[in-house]
Chains A and B, each alone.
Chain A
C-alpha cells in the first residue's frame, strides 16, 4: 500500500514537472553544487553534507505567460550525501545516501524540491554494549551497532538567493523520511527535518 503511495507520488511529481512545457531551453550541466544541512528529528540533532551534480537542466517558458516573461527552471540532480544524527541512549546513525533530486525554481527564486534514493546506514548503539558467553564470560563490544540498507524520500521548499541577490546560495527546508531495514526483522522509519544550504561555486564565475 505504502509502496503504491510512493510510486503515485513520484509519478505525480514527475508529471507536474513536465506540465505546460511549451518552450524548453537546455542549460549547461557541467558543474556541481555543495550541500550543507542541519538535521533534526524532534529534538535530536544531526548534520549532513553532500555534493550534487546536475544531470538535466532546462528553462521552461510557459506559452500563455511569454508576454509576462514567467519561466521555471527545472533541474534534475544526482547527489551523494553523508549524514549523521545523534539520538541519546538510542543510537548515533551515520548514513550515506545517493539521491535523485528534482528541483523547480521560479523567476522569483522560490524553489520546490523532491528527492528519493537508496542509502547505507551504520548505527552505533547509545550505550556500552555487553556480550555474555554461555560460560558466563562478559566482554564489551567495541563500536557496537548495525548496518542497514536505506531508502529515503523527501520534499521541501526554499529560495534561490542568486535569482534576486546574485548570492550563489540556495536555502531550503525539507522534510525527509528515512527507512532502514532489516531493523529487528522489520522496517524502521524516521522523519528528519533538514534545514540546509546549497552552495553553487560555478555561479561565482558568471559574475
Chain B
C-alpha cells in the first residue's frame, strides 16, 4: 500500500516534468534551463510550425518576461511565429537556492547562450531565431552580440528601448529630464512636479554613482506621467490581469525583483558599456524607440544604430511611447516585428 502511494506520488510529480514539445499553430510549452545554480523558466507560445522564434530578453535586472506575454502579442505575433519568454536568473518564476553570486552580466550571457542552445535542441537546429531586447535586456544583447560566434546563433536583433551603454544612458536621461522639464515649466505644465527633478539634475551633473543613477531612473519613470501623448502603462494592473491565466507566481516576482534591485551587481552595471564593440554586429537589426523614453532616451538608440555594422538596419520611432513601446504602441511594435521577421527569417 505504502509503495503504491509512493509510486502514485512520484508519477504525479514526474507528470509535471514530462517533456512536452509541441509543434502546432497554437502552443504553450514551459520548460526550465538549469545553469549555474538557477533554474530559469522559458515559455514558448504561439506558432511553432513556421520555425521562426522570437525570444524576448526582459529588462531589470529582476523584472520578468511575463510582462510581454500579452493577448495582443499572442494574437498578432503568436499567430505566425513562436514567441519565447525567458525569465532571467533571479527573476520572475526562475528558482534556485544560494545563487546571488552568479548574478552578473557575464553569467547572464552564458545563460542566454544555453537558452538558445536548448531551444534549438527542442525545436530543431534550423529554427530562425530573433531576439527582442528591452531596457536592461539591451545590455545582455550587446554583450552577447559582440562575443565571437554568438551572433551567428540568431537571424536578427530587435532592440526596443534597450540600453547598451549605462554611463551614456545616465547622461542622456539627465539631459532629457532637464530639457523636457524646462520646456514643460515654460508651458506651465506640472510645474511643482518638474521643479524637484530639475533641481536634482542641476545638482548632479555627471560621473553618476549607482544611487544617482537609480534616482535618475526613478525620475524618468515619473516623468513619463507628465507627458500627455504617452499611453500610461500600469505594471501592477497588467500582472494582476494575467496573474491567473498565466499562473504567475506573484510573490516570486516580487522577492526576485526586490533582491535584484538591491544588489551590488547594479554597481558593476552602472559602468557597463558596449558602444566601442558594436561595430561587430552585422546581422539585420530593427531599432524601435519611444520618442518620450526618459529611461533610455532616443539618442541612446541612435548611438546604437549608428555604431553597428549591419547593412540591413531600420530605425522606427513611436510618437506615443515612453520606455515601454512594446505595450504603449503595440500595433506599431507588432507590425514592425512582423515585417522584419518575415523578411529575414
Q: Are A183 and B17 in contact, CB atoms less than 8 angstroms apart?
A: no
Are A129 and B32 in touch, CB under 8 angstroms? yes
Query: Given A90-B247, A124-B13, A182-B98, do A136 and B32 touch, yes or no (CB 8 Å)?
Result: no
Q: Which residues 60-117 of B have a CB within 8 angstroms of A?
A: 89-90, 93-101, 103, 114, 117
Tell me whether A184 and B259 are in contact (CB under 8 A).
yes
Contact yes or no, B95 A123, CB < 8 A: yes
Question: B117 near A131 (CB under 8 angstroms)?
Answer: no
Complex interface: stretch among A32-40, A51-59, A185-193: A185-193
Give the residue of A94, A144, A185 whose beta carbon is less than 8 angstroms from that of B259: A185
Interface residues of A in 124-155 (CB under 8 A from B): 124-132, 136, 138, 140-148
A89-B41, A132-B118 as given contacts; A183 in contact with B32, CB under 8 Å: no
- Residue of A86, A87, A129, A186 near B34 (CB, 8 A) is A129
- Are B255 and A126 in contact, CB atoms less than 8 angstroms apart? no
Contact for B16 among A86, A140, A147, CB less than 8 A = A86
Closest to A177 in B: B251
- Please tell me which one of the listed residues B12, B34, B43, B243 contacts residue A130 in the complex, with CB atoms under 8 A apart: B34
Tell me, in angstroms, the Cα distance from A132 to B42 when the chains sit together. 15
CB distance from A19 to the nearest CB of B (A): 35
Residues of A close to B18: CB separation below 8 A: 128
Q: Is the CB of A124 within 8 A of B252?
A: no
Please give, as numbers and ranges, the residues of chain B lying within 8 Å of A204 by CB-CB distance: none
The answer to whether A184 and B100 touch across the interface, beta carbons within 8 angstroms, is yes
Is residue B244 within 8 Å, beta carbon to beta carbon, of the partner chain?
A: yes
- Which of the residues B13, B41, B94, B250 comes within 8 Å of A92, measured between beta carbons? B13
Q: Within the assembled complex, what's the spacing in Å between the Cα atoms of A129 and B89? A: 14
Q: CB distance A138 to B255 under 8 Å?
A: no
The answer to whether A1 has its CB under 8 Å from any CB of chain B is no
Chain B residue at minimal CB-CB distance from A88: B247
- B33 in contact with A130 (CB, 8 Å): yes
- Known: A87-B247, A90-B247. Contact between A127 and B31, CB under 8 A? yes
Say how far B245's CB is from chain A's closest CB, in angstroms. 10
**Could you tell me the distance in whole angstroms from the C-beta of A72 to the nearest C-beta in chain B?**
36
- Taking the closest CB of chain A, its distance from the CB of B78, in whole angstroms, is 17
Interface size in chain B (residues, C-beta < 8 A): 46
Given contacts A125-B17, A128-B17, A190 and B251 within 8 Å (CB-CB): yes
- Measured between beta carbons, the chain A residues less than 8 angstroms from B258 are 186
Contacts A89-B93, A90-B252 known; A138 to B118 CB distance under 8 Å? yes
Is B339 engaged at the interface, CB distance under 8 Å to the other chain?
Answer: no
Asked if B14 is at the interface (CB within 8 A of a chain A CB), the reply is: yes
Task: Evaluate contact between A184 and B256: CB separation under 8 angstroms.
Answer: yes
Is B147's beta carbon under 8 Å from chain A? no
Residues from chain A with a CB closer than 8 A to the CB of B13 are: 92, 94, 124, 143
The residue in chain B whose Cβ has the minimal distance to the Cβ of A126 is B16
Evaluate whether A146 and B96 lie within 8 angstroms (CB atoms) in the complex, with A130-B121, A184-B90, A185-B90 already known: yes
Q: How near does chain A come to B316, taking the closest CB pair, in angstroms?
A: 33
Known: A129-B39, A132-B118. A183 touches B255 (CB 8 A): yes
Contact of A42 among B43, B90, B121, B243 (CB under 8 A): B243
B35 at the interface (CB under 8 A from A): yes
A87 to B251, CA, bound (A): 12
CB atoms of A130 and B93 under 8 A apart: no
Judged by a CB distance under 8 angstroms, whether A62 is at the interface is no
State whether the Cβ of A16 lies closer than 8 Å to any Cβ in chain B: no
Tell me which residues across on chain A come within 8 A of B335, comparing CB atoms: none
Residue-wise, chain B 10-24 has the 8 Å CB interface mask toward A (1 for contact) of 001110111110000
Is the Cβ of B117 less than 8 Å from the Cβ of A89?
A: no
Establish whether residues A132 and B35, one from each chain, have CB atoms under 8 Å apart when the complex forms.
Answer: yes
Of all chain B residues, the one with the shortest Cβ separation from A186 is: B259
Q: Which chain A residues lie closer than 8 Å to B43 at the CB level?
A: 89
List chain B residues, Cβ under 8 A from A87: 247, 249
- A88 and B117 alpha carbons, distance in the complex (Å): 25
